[in-house]
Chain A
Amino acid sequence: MRLSRLRGENNEGLLAGLIILLVLVMGVVEPGFLGPATFANVVRSLLVDLTFALGMLVVIVSGGIDVSFTAIAIFSGYGVIVLMNDLGADGTFWPFALAALTGAVLGSLNAAMVAGFRLPTLIVTLGTQGIVRGALIAFIGSQYLSNLPTGLETLARSDLFAITTGGGTARMTLLALPVALLCVLVALLLRSTMLGRSIYAIGGDVESARRVGIRVGRVQTFVYLFAGALAGFGGLMHVTLSRQANPYDLVGSELDVIAAVVIGGASIFGGRGSVLGTVLGVTLIALINNSLVLLGVPSAWQRLAVGLLVLLGVGLQALGQGRRKSTPILAEARS
């Protein structure tokens, strides 16, 4: 009983254990790995993916899947920079709000198709991905922009805190703050709001949700607008953190995010998943990538590792389903 509690509702415990193991092994293999610098580096490298993963979590819990978020993200992030350059405008906060808004507007295309026409989400979002990316490069721009507005440049270099140790300075980027806040917000949304519970309900059984009076169309609309907004926000964060805007970025890296959410215990069939699991899943993938890079392993192994991890994650889930508790019928002969 205690053990199963430790394991967590969505295997969170297992994941945490795996992460600790990986960190310890890396600490032994690569001295200097354990330290604030690595921590800050890993956090920095997972912020964008985590933001996307939160959006993906909400979509997956609602029973869908979204592969258009990278296109939406880079459209929003790049588009905002282009707009700021054209207007000669500068700012720190409002560009993010605008990027999120842009993302939500683009997400409404998914919302209309999924909520309005009840079409399969994978295929709808594949279509949206093509449209959004095509529109970005055909109509917004295709140039690599190396100069960001000053406000964003400054933000990119702002630290939440910096720790100087013998090995160098570990800088925790300021952008970790909004992402942490987002994690808390999404967790609250999913756990403690009617909207959040409706998302779980829809993911469990859409028809039942409709029948108890949950406005399925509205909830789904929210889900895809919200995922779009998070994608937009994450897109500008990617641009800011890398201090350059490249319209060819991000698209093609959907799997890492989907994999992280699935490894984090969310069920692809909907209705299950948690923010904690997602955070752990993103961390695990970031750590694996980081460790493999550190050990000089070619990037092809990363693909292989992520693919295998996904299979492992969903395989475990599938096996867990099979071993579901069944109520005994038989009155066994008492001995």
Chain B
Amino acid sequence: MPETAIVLRARGVRKTYGGVTALREADVDIRRGEVHCLAGENGSGKSTLIKIVSGVEQPDAGTITLDGHDVGRLTPTRAVELGIQVIHQDLSLFPNLSVAENIAMVARVASRRRLVSRRDAMALAKATTERLGVSLDLTERASNLPVAQRQLAAICRAFAHDAKVLFMDEPTTALTWREVDALLALVDTLRAEGLAVVFVSHKLEEVFRISDRVTVLRNGEVVHAGEVKDLDRPTLVRVMTGQDVTEDRDVTELPPDTRPVLATRGLGRRHEFADVSFSVRAGEVVGLTGLLGSGRTEIAEAIFGMRPADTGEILVDGEPVRVRSVHDAIRAGIAYVPGDRLTQGVFLGQSIRRNLIAGSIDRLISRTGRLRDKAVQRTVTTAVESLRIKTSDVAAPVRTLSGGNQQRVVLGKWLARSPRVLVLNSPTVGVDIGSKEGILQVLRDRARAGMGVLVISDDVPELVSVCHRVLVVRRGRVVDEIASARMSVQAVTDGLTG
């Protein structure tokens, strides 16, 4: 591959947040017409780097040059004008505006025009969607779109304005397998148009499938930069984590007469899912997979009482239980680790201690409602030790922890109750490879101790590695079950794409 010109160059970028050094002397080169992967574990500084080159954060030191010119102090506005575009992990759409206006917004800001009109926005949005070959209802409010379409809108917005460099911070975490394919195809098109695309992902397959070059960060330092074709999987994992990690299937078969701890019979909810019947046995890890928007999250949240089912029943240990609210579910011994850690899982500003007891307050209070200090202390210490949460002070806010440790805190919150059934939604999304294996190991251990585990995920290797069985959901119904005997990456993938 011929060396093309360097579009964006960062030199000696340093950033500290309070005491935490997020980036130290990082150097990155991005070339025209390449897909460049930023890899690294949680908290290694990837997002910080993106925030700095897009003007969202100011570096403590270092220079950024674009096409050979020092850009000086960068603001988001300046970055947009210079042709630096970012698709943030949370999409950053405007829920109150129409899709068309959302798509037009970046271009409008960059054009520095003072007057705007709906018609222009519509024309631009139409042109963009046509160019990218996506179909979207442009007049709909963004808040009314399903997640996958919002993702498409965010991508269209980034493309609506002529960009030189496009950063995509973990764009695939909210996407299903099939949508990822479409996105990667799109990235290919862009590369062909001469754009530089910087891609952040924890999923190694994606890195290998799409990237030309990779920069690996560890603890805020660049530990590797080079062509992807010179790397193989184990090597990349080793540079990222500094150690070897395996992803092999590790499942202990259960005795055939093991009784189910959780069973659903004909569970249904209007417009969302129907006839969902399955069971999870004590000690079993069951996978629930399906495309995003297939209804798998809805099923999990119905079991957890968040959005209760209208029909059918839920049985715990063979007894039917009425689950009309989260409270009912918890009382029945069901726990749920939600999919979006930051908004649904943790209380960022609150102490690790408070986060850990958030799910079991009812058990930690005396009859008068007073918190029992000793019981609280015991719960917190047990969780920190058994989950190996890396912290020196449980009074520190959860904000100070890395992503993987934050996820351990969410897990710890529920394990403190020793639930009969643990339901987890995408438990390793946004968690780096080292932490991911640790979290999966916790699930295996708990299952072996007799808990029933239901894992929702579309990370196929992960499902294969940890699950006894995998159920496939499509358009609100369970359409397939892959038993242990025929479990393989290929089988699950086939089921998913069906």
The answer to whether any beta carbons of A and B sit under 8 Å apart in the complex is yes
CB under 8 Å from chain A, chain B span 90-106: 92-97, 101, 105-106
> Does the CB pair A205–B298 fall under 8 Å?
no
Chain A, residue nearest B117 (CB): A192
The residue in chain A whose Cβ has the minimal distance to the Cβ of B295 is: A329
A133 to B117, CA, bound (A): 41
* Nearest neighbor of A207 in chain B, beta-carbon distance: B92
B114 x A213 contact (CB < 8 A): no
User: Could you tell me if B95 and A204 are in contact, using CB atoms closer than 8 angstroms?
Assistant: yes
Question: What residues of B have a CB within 8 angstroms of the CB of A272 in the complex?
Answer: 96
B113 adjacent to chain A (CB < 8 Å):
yes
**Identity of the chain B residue whose Cβ is nearest the Cβ of A270 in the assembled complex:** B96
In the complex, B45 has a CB within 8 A of chain A: no
Which residue from A195, A215, A271, A326 sits with its C-beta under 8 Å from B95? A271
Whether B56 lies near A211 (C-beta < 8 A) is: yes
Q: Which of B116, B157, B295 contacts A197 (CB 8 A)?
A: B116
Taking a contact as CB atoms closer than 8 A, the residue among A194, A203, A325 that contacts B144 in the complex is A325
Residues of B within 8 A of A203 (CB): 96
**Residue pair B88, A215 in contact (C-beta under 8 Å):** no
Asked if residues A194 and B477 are in contact (CB atoms below 8 Å), the reply is: no
B97 touches A204 (CB 8 A): yes
Of listed A193, A201, A267, residue having the most chain B CB within 10 A: A201
Q: Residue-by-residue, is B259-285 near A (CB-CB < 8 Å gives 1, otherwise 0)?
A: 000000000001111100000000000
Contact A324 B116 (CB under 8 A): no
Chain A residues in 8 Å Cβ range of B270: 330
Residues in B71-89 with C-beta less than 8 Å from chain A? 75-81, 86, 88
Contact status of A194 and B115, CB under 8 A, knowing A215-B77, A331-B475: yes
Question: How long is the Cα–Cα vector from A266 to B121 in the complex, in angstroms?
Answer: 23
> Contact at B94–A330, with CB atoms within 8 Å?
no
Q: Do residues A201 and B94 form an inter-chain contact, with CB atoms below 8 A? A: yes
Report A-chain residues with C-beta under 8 Å of the C-beta of B146. 327
| A233 close to chain B: CB less than 8 A | no
Whether A209 is near chain B, meaning CB under 8 Å from some CB there, is yes
Residues of A contacting B295 in the complex (Cβ-Cβ under 8 angstroms)? 329-330
Task: Decide: B95 and A211 in contact? CB cutoff 8 A.
Answer: no
> Quick one: which of A302-335 are within 8 Å of B by CB?
324-332
Tally A-B pairs: CB < 8 A.
107
| Contact status of A209 and B94, CB under 8 A, knowing A192-B116, A197-B108 | yes
Cross-chain contact of A212 among B109, B272, B294 (Cβ < 8 A): B109
Given contacts A212-B76, A212-B105, contact A330 B115 (CB under 8 A): no
Q: Are A210 and B95 in contact (CB under 8 A)?
A: no
A332 to B295, CA, bound (A): 13
The yes or no answer to B110 lying at the interface (CB within 8 A) is yes
Decide yes or no: A330 and B274 within 8 Å by CB, A205-B92, A210-B56, A213-B79 being known contacts: yes
Q: Does residue B345 face the partner (Cβ distance < 8 Å to A)? A: no
Within 184-221 of A, Cβ neighbours of B (below 8 Å) are at 192-195, 197, 200-201, 203-205, 207-215
Q: Which residues of chain B come closer than 8 Å to A192, judged between CB atoms?
A: 115-117
Whether A329 contacts B298 in the complex (CB less than 8 A), given A194-B114, A194-B116, A213-B80, comes out as yes
Does B452 lie at the interface of the complex (its beta carbon under 8 Å from any beta carbon of A)?
no
B293 CB–A CB distance under 8 Å: yes
User: Nearest-CB distance from A141 to chain B (Å)?
Assistant: 40
Which of A207, A209, A211 is most buried by chain B, counting CB atoms within 10 A of its CB?
A211
Would B94 and A200 count as touching, CB distance under 8 A?
Answer: yes
Chain A interface, DSSP helix/strand/loop, else mixed: loop
- Given the known interface contacts A205-B95, A215-B77, the answer about A195 and B114 at a Cβ–Cβ threshold of 8 Å is yes
Contacts of B81 in A (CB 8 A): 213
Tell me the chain A residues, 11-31 only, with Cβ under 8 Å from chain B: none
Q: In the complex, A210→B80 CA distance in Å? A: 11
Q: Does B338 contact A (CB under 8 A)?
A: no
**Min CB gap A323→B, angstroms:** 12
Cβ-based interface call for B220 (8 A):
no
Distance in angstroms from B109 CB to nearest chain A CB is 4
Known: A192-B117, A329-B295. A211 touches B86 (CB 8 A): yes
* Residue from A204, A208, A214, A326 within 8 A of B271 (CB atoms): A326
Asked if B476 is at the interface of the complex by the 8 Å CB criterion, the answer is yes
Smallest Cβ distance from B486 to chain A, in angstroms?
25
Return B82 CB to nearest CB of chain A, in Å.
Answer: 10
* Nearest CB of chain A from residue B397's CB, rounded to whole Å: 19
Residues of chain A within 8 A of B293, CB atoms compared: 327, 329
Chain A nearest CB from B69 CB (Å) reads: 19
For A325, the closest partner residue in chain B by CB is B144
Complex alpha-carbon distance, A270 and B295, angstroms? 31
Query: In chain B, what residue has the closest Cβ to A215?
Result: B77
Chain B nearest CB: distance from A158 CB in Å? 34
Instruction: Tell me the nearest residue of chain A to B110, going by C-beta.
Output: A213
Q: Which of A193, A214, A267, A270 interacts with B116 by CB under 8 Å?
A: A193
Q: Which of A203, A270, A325, A329 neighbours the largest number of chain B CB atoms within 10 Å of its CB?
A: A329
Question: How far does the Cβ of A265 sit from chain B's closest Cβ, in whole Å?
Answer: 13
- Type the 1/0 row for B108-132, where 1 means its CB is closer than 8 Å to any CB of A: 1110011111000000000000000
Which one of B86, B109, B476 has the highest number of Cβ atoms from chain A below 10 Å of its Cβ? B109
> Is B86 within 8 A of A200, CB to CB?
no
Min CB gap B84→A, angstroms = 10
* Docked-complex contact A328 and B88, CB < 8 angstroms: no
Q: Would you call B79 and A330 a contact (CB within 8 A)?
A: no
CA distance A248 to B116 in the complex (A): 42
A157 CB → nearest B CB, Å: 39
**Minimum CB distance partner of A214 in chain B:** B109
Interface residues in B231-277 by Cβ distance below 8 A to A read 270-274
* A231-273 interface with B by 8 A CB criterion: 267, 270-272
Taking the nearest CB of chain B, how far is it from the CB of A210, in angstroms?
6
Other-chain residue from A215, A270, A271, A329 in contact with B273 (beta carbon distance below 8 A): A329
A192 CA to B119 CA, complexed, in Å: 11
* Sample of 18 further A-B pairs with CB below 8 A, known A200-B97, A204-B97, A215-B77: A192-B116, A194-B109, A194-B116, A201-B97, A204-B94, A205-B92, A205-B93, A205-B94, A205-B95, A208-B94, A212-B80, A213-B75, A213-B110, A214-B77, A271-B97, A326-B271, A328-B271, A330-B477
Enumerate chain A interface residues (CB-CB to B < 8 A). Answer: 192-195, 197, 200-201, 203-205, 207-215, 267, 270-272, 324-332
